[in-house]
């Protein structure tokens, strides 16, 4: 029986976007502006929610959690990418790669569940407005928020342990600008079928559960909107919910395309684009969609600014 040398690597090279020297500086400036704008928007929302008594309600409590996640997600991925683009330092240690993947999956998983909780909150507000405060108490909000973070943590712990018990040999070049599940599976020289099956099953069950809650809630919200007497109220509600639904579908769709598929379909160039959508674009758009499209949010942000 032939023996195979399975020597693990001590560091990885994140090639990603930094392998295009002719546009590296332009990409650095572009992503730095996007990152700083994202940070400014989400930090402003957190300050507004923490200091304005008008925003001490369940909707803005969940929005505060979403803003925190939208600060963490691009920070986990973009800072290393910016360093690679500016200083050409593509190296990340084995431990650093583990931590980056763990925190990324933790944040992405938590946001998937949090968006489902926020849609449920919207459903109760639209369909049961008179009973809203009795159904969605601050105690329930705290339990739901803690639940999303806990499930996200254990989901990430499972996925990270499955990936980093693999052997990595021959090449240490990660064809992405951060450590993520698909490029790490593609890089491994160990059999990955059983791990892929577990990852697909867990991600499929948890992701589909969040999607079903979101879909059912939006069906009831749509029915409630259609029953409104005022055409102006219907138009306003459709505009707001349509924006929310677009963003939710964008986040769910891109994360599903990334994580709920076999590694044989992995395409580095395609994955780079998809990762930009859920890792950089949605954290930038969330403050605009959820805060600047309602009067309370705009007034609070003006006072903070």
Cα separation, 86 vs 18, in Å, equals 9
- pLDDT at res. 148: 95
Sign, CA dihedral 225-227-233-238, equals positive
- pLDDT at res. 3: 40
Sequence spans of domains, the chain: 11-304
**Where is pLDDT greater, at 232 or 135?**
135
* Residues 280/248, Cβ–Cβ less than 8 Å: no
234 class by beta-carbon count within 10 Å (0-12 exposed, 13-18 middle, 19+ buried): middle
Measured in degrees and rounded to the nearest 5, phi and psi for residue 168 equal: -125, 120
**Where is pLDDT greater, at 202 or 292?**
202
- pLDDT at res. 2: 39
**CA dist list (Å): 30 to 23, 89, 297:** 11, 18, 28
Candidates 177, 164, 11, 18; CA nearest to 102 is 164
pLDDT at 75 over 90: yes
Reading the block at residue 74, the tokens are 């691009």
Cα separation, 137 vs 112, in Å, equals 22
pLDDT at 4 over 50: no
Contacts (Cβ under 8 Å, ≥6 apart) of 239: 293
Cα separation, 275 vs 280, in Å, equals 8
Cα separation, 37 vs 22, in Å, equals 25
- pLDDT at res. 18: 59
CATH (residue range 11-304) = 1.20.1070.10
- pLDDT at res. 292: 64
Region 280-284: mean pLDDT is: 88
DSSP 3-state of 1: coil
- pLDDT at res. 19: 61
Please state which of the ranges 16-30, 70-84, 132-146, 167-181 shows the lowest mean pLDDT: 16-30
Cα separation, 196 vs 199, in Å, equals 5
8-34 b/e (C-beta count within 10 Å ≥ 16 → b): eeeebbbbbbbeeeeeeeebbeebeeb
Mean pLDDT of the chain, nearest integer: 84
Please state which of the ranges 33-37, 211-215, 217-221, 285-289 shows the lowest mean pLDDT: 285-289
pLDDT at 59 over 70: yes
């Amino acid at each position: 029986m032939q023996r195979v040398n399975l020597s693990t690597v001590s560091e990885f090279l994140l090639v990603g976007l930094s392998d295009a020297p002719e546009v590296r500086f332009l990409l650095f400036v572009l992503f730095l502006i996007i990152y700083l704008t994202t940070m400014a928007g989400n930090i402003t929302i957190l300050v507004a929610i923490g200091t304005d008594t008008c925003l001490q309600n369940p909707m803005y409590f969940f929005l505060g959690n979403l803003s925190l996640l939208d600060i963490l997600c691009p920070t986990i991925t973009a800072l290393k990418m910016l360093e690679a683009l500016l200083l050409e330092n593509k190296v990340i240690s084995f431990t650093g790669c583990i931590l980056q993947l763990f925190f990324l999956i933790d944040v992405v998983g938590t946001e998937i569940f949090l968006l489902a909780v926020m849609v449920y909150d919207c459903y109760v507000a639209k369909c049961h407005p008179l009973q809203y405060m009795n159904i969605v108490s601050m105690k329930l909000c705290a339990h739901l928020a803690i639940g999303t973070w806990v499930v996200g943590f254990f989901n990430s712990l499972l996925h990270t342990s499955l990936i980093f018990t693999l052997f990595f040999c021959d090449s240490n070049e990660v064809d992405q600008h951060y450590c993520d599940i698909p490029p790490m599976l593609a890089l491994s020289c160990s059999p990955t079928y059983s791990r892929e099956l577990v990852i697909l099953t867990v991600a499929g069950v948890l992701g589909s559960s969040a999607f079903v809650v979101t879909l059912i809630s939006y069906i009831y919200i749509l029915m409630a909107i259609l029953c409104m007497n005022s055409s102006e109220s219907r138009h306003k509600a459709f505009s707001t919910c349509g924006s929310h639904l677009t963003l939710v579908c964008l986040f769910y769709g891109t994360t599903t395309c990334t994580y709920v598929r076999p590694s044989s379909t992995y395409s580095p160039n395609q994955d780079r684009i998809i990762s930009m959508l859920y890792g950089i674009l949605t954290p930038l758009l969330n403050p605009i969609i959820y805060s600047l499209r309602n009067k309370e949010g705009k007034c609070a942000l003006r006072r903070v600014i």
